[in-house]
Amino acid sequence: MTVQCSTCGEQWERDPALEVDCPACGADVGSQCRRPSGHPCAVHAGRDKRALREVAGYEQCPGADPEQSDTAVDRSQTDITQCSKR
Ligand SMILES: [Zn+2]
Ligand SMILES: [Zn+2]
């Protein structure tokens, strides 16, 4: 899944947050975050912050507004519905 930051336009072939497992929902490396119901959801903020610390080359978006977004990059353009088809 390609992810693009809608704030600065930076693109990753694979969401850097998926390179670590999620402390919030327990999703494994490479797996989309899920709600308790099992439906895919947006990356949890804790996972994103972990990725910021642990994934080389992944940094807080210079244009992201921390007041408006829990995550380092704005993934609001990401089509998470495509993940549910896997
Ligand atoms: Zn950005
Ligand atoms: Zn999660």
> What one-character-per-residue DSSP string does the chain give?
--EE-TTT--EESS-GGGGS--TTT-PPTTSPPB-TTS-B-PPPHHHHHHHHHHSTT----TT--TTT-SSSS--TT--GGGGGG-
Work out the pLDDT band at 81, boundaries 50, 70, 90. very low
> What whole-number distance in Å separates Cα of residue 12 and Cα of residue 27?
19
pLDDT digits (tens, 9 = 90+) for 28-60: 999 999 999 999 999 999 999 999 999 998 888
pTM (two decimals): 0.78
Boundaries of every domain in the chain:
1-80
Note whether 45 and 71 are within 8 A (CB).
Answer: yes
Instruction: Give the distance (Å) from ligand 1 centre to CA of residue 76.
Output: 11
Q: How high is the pLDDT of residue 79?
A: 53
Instruction: Give the distance (Å) from ligand 2 centre to CA of residue 63.
Output: 23
